[in-house]
Structure 1
Amino acid sequence: MRRQMMAIYSYLLLWLGVYLGVELSAFDPNTPHLQLFGGLFAINIVFYLMIRFGLSDRLRDPSLTVAQMVVGVAFITVILYFARELRGAMLSIYFMVMTFGVFALSRRQMVLMALFTMVCFTLLEFYDWHESPETVLFTYLFGHWLILLLELAWFVYIGGYIHNLQVRVREQRESLKDAHDRLTAIAVRDDLTGLYNRRHFLERLDEELALSDRKNTALHLAIIDLDHFKQVNDRYGHQAGDEVLRRFADIAQATLRRSDLLARYGGEEFVVLFPQSSGEECMAALERLRRQIAGQRYEFAPDLSTTFSAGLVDYRRGETAAQLGKRADMALYEAKGAGRNQVVHNS
């Protein structure tokens, strides 16, 4: 859109120059500038509407840069026909069009546009020589042709260099974005399970406590501990223990609601924050998760059965995060003391 508006602005300046040239007799007085520029602006309005309303999105060149440059080169060639006396000086106008391609076209496309420009100008020169050979100096025509060729070759070289710089900058920007995303994930995610880590959970916990106080909504906290997890590591190895932790994380994410905040608190301990849920709903979710975990079987140890104990508590208005966590810990210890593989709910 910005390039399109720049093109229209450039054509307005060119129209002003042509109008002054006609008035000062530097152009052919019969130059139909009103018709020429009227048609040019009509074409550019079509381009503008196609881009503005997304009609060009299906094309290989959604910005219509190539189409706009083709129209611009053809139009400037027609203008040069009426500016025979100033043709040498006005060759630079071609580069006004070529500039639009520097930041959008590849070197191959720039070469093709340069060839198209040379073809248009060659046809113009040939037409002049054919129509009035007695008034046209061949060396004069060839000089213009050679100057344009050399300048276009230089322009293609510089344009390709700029395009390559753009590609490298774009790749570096994407690389930096990927690195930033990875660092962001590391800051809030646990490497092994992909769940939120303890630090992020505690930050969110403070936010949820404040929100619950402000809106007077229910909030529950559960602390989950995998039963006898140390024995899994000792008997089957740490890789097996990692697999158990990942399996728990995957099942818990699939079982709990998306609004429930699940995190790995440390080691084999996990925490779940249940916003806007009743105690019965939280107990049902934890019991469902407990049964699924107990029913898991592992290829590395078909005889292994994993269970967990959990303590669930209701949030009390004005309670701090530390106080809430301490009560959840006490409920967890009750579940372990009662034989493990169960959930204890203390309001």
Structure 2
Amino acid sequence: MPVFTVKSTAALERAIRLKRQLMAFYSYCLLWAGTFIGVELAAFEPNTPTLALLALIVIINVFFYLLIRTGISEQFRDPSLTIVQMAAGILLTTAILHYSRELRGAMLSIYFMVMTFGVLALDRRRMLLIAAFTQLCFTSLLIYEWFEAPQQAIFSYLVGHWLILALGLGWFIYMGGYIHNLQSRVREQRRRLHEAHNRLSAIAVRDDLTGLYNRRHFLERLEEEMSRANRENNPLHLAIIDLDHFKQVNDTYGHHAGDDVLHRFAQLAAMGLRKSDLLARYGGEEFVVLFPHTSTQACQAAMERLRNRFAQQHYSFSGDLRSKFSAGLTPYQPGESAEEFIKRADRALYQAKDLGRNRIQLAN
């Protein structure tokens, strides 16, 4: 995968996490605004530290924002820091509940708002851990208030609130796990569809046996390279290669042996040529190579190296077989068509065969 694609994907994912963090900050602000209004309406304890809560909200969100913005959070398994952020929200909610009065039953819904942030990101086991942490925080608050002011505590209310929270968290665990599993299946289906798309794309441009580009893709790229050569006035060369006496290999040793020879040539050519050279299987035992931005002498030298390496190959099905090929090489003439370009290379190939095969023939 290209480096710029990896970087752009990482930047996009970071931008999404930053947007989620801003949404979390917005939710915190709504919570604080509700608390502030509740204090003004005497629905909360008059000593509720609204300014301290606001400062704490800003500090928490700035801290997480900087971790995500600088990329430090990407060193962790979950770059969004979902569990840590949920734990911070649960602790802050518990602190606010301490100052609530008869609104406590309604304020319990804030716990469930925090839980929604983990529905898509956490599996059932981690949702269970967060739910247990939430229930523990609320239980600790009830115990603390019981010992701090037992005369104000109403046992039935405490038990009722505790059970409501427990039942609500149980529902979140069940539904969160179901949604997470559903999302995982959707992701798996998308991954399989992406892999299938990649395989189909490869089949459309690749030859099954050799793994090289096929004829259709080569002809498309040929037009592009010719246009570029005309536009930039750069040299362009085409070589057509035909494996010598390939039919005899199939007739003598079988088609599996012929496939082995074709595959061996494809491997040698792919390793021996430049990455900028376009190598393709043209059909049967014919191959084509397009050489952009290079001289005729360099093309001839590359083809000779490939011819010599191919002739040195040994095969398991025959110790006597020495594979060879003939090739026609031609430079591109500005303004000519692809058909004319290919025909000149093809004529040079037949000249190489007429002159005894196993040679590179430059077009006249």
> Structure 2 length as normaliser, TM-score?
0.94
Aligned to 1:139: 156
Contact 1:256/1:285, CA 8 A, preserved across alignment: yes
Aligned to 1:172: 189
Aligned to 1:294: 311
User: What amino acid is the match of 1:56?
Assistant: S
2: distance between equivalents of 1:187 and 1:260?
A: 20
Aligned to 1:215: 232
Aligned to 2:4: none
SS at match of 1:217: coil
1: distance between equivalents of 2:280 and 2:205?
A: 10
1:147-226 superposed matches below 5 A: 147-226=164-243
Q: Which of 328, 335, 353 lines up with 1:336 in the alignment?
A: 353
2: distance between equivalents of 1:6 and 1:99?
A: 13
1:76-155 superposed matches below 5 A: 76-155=93-172
1:53 Cα deviation after fit: 0.7
1:125 Cα deviation after fit: 1.1
Contact 2:347/2:363, CA 8 A, preserved across alignment: no
1:126 Cα deviation after fit: 1.4
1:40 Cα deviation after fit: 2.5
SS at match of 2:103: helix
SS at match of 1:221: strand
Moved more, 313-322 or 263-272: 313-322
Structure 2 unpaired stretches of 5+: 1-16
Structure 1 unpaired stretches of 5+: none
1: distance between equivalents of 2:179 and 2:278?
A: 48
| Residue deviations 1:40-99 (CA, integer Å, cap 9, x gap) | 320221111011111122222221111111010011001001002210011001011101
1:156 Cα deviation after fit: 0.9
Moved more, 38-47 or 199-208: 38-47
1:57 matched to 2:90 = no
1:277-316 superposed matches below 5 A: 277-316=294-333
1:11 matched to 2:31 = no
2: distance between equivalents of 1:33 and 1:242?
A: 79
Aligned to 1:252: 269
1:3 Cα deviation after fit: 2.1
User: What amino acid is the match of 1:277?
Assistant: T
1:39 Cα deviation after fit: 1.5
1:37 Cα deviation after fit: 2.3
2: distance between equivalents of 1:216 and 1:57?
A: 47
2: distance between equivalents of 1:218 and 1:5?
A: 55
1:135 Cα deviation after fit: 2.2
User: What amino acid is the match of 2:308?
Assistant: R
Q: Which of 320, 330, 334 lines up with 2:337 in the alignment?
A: 320
SS at match of 2:74: coil
SS at match of 2:279: strand
Contact 1:312/1:344, CA 8 A, preserved across alignment: yes
1:162 Cα deviation after fit: 0.6
1:130 Cα deviation after fit: 1.6
User: What amino acid is the match of 1:163?
Assistant: H
Moved more, 129-138 or 200-209: 129-138
2: distance between equivalents of 1:32 and 1:230?
A: 91
Aligned to 1:272: 289
Contact 2:32/2:53, CA 8 A, preserved across alignment: no
2: distance between equivalents of 1:164 and 1:316?
A: 61
2: distance between equivalents of 1:304 and 1:93?
A: 79
1:33 matched to 2:50 = yes
2: distance between equivalents of 1:135 and 1:308?
A: 98
Q: Which of 229, 234, 239 lines up with 2:246 in the alignment?
A: 229
1: distance between equivalents of 2:143 and 2:41?
A: 27
2: distance between equivalents of 1:3 and 1:138?
A: 39
1: distance between equivalents of 2:265 and 2:295?
A: 24
SS at match of 1:304: coil
Could you list the structure 1 runs, at least 4 aligned residues long, displaced by more than 2 angstroms after superposition.
none
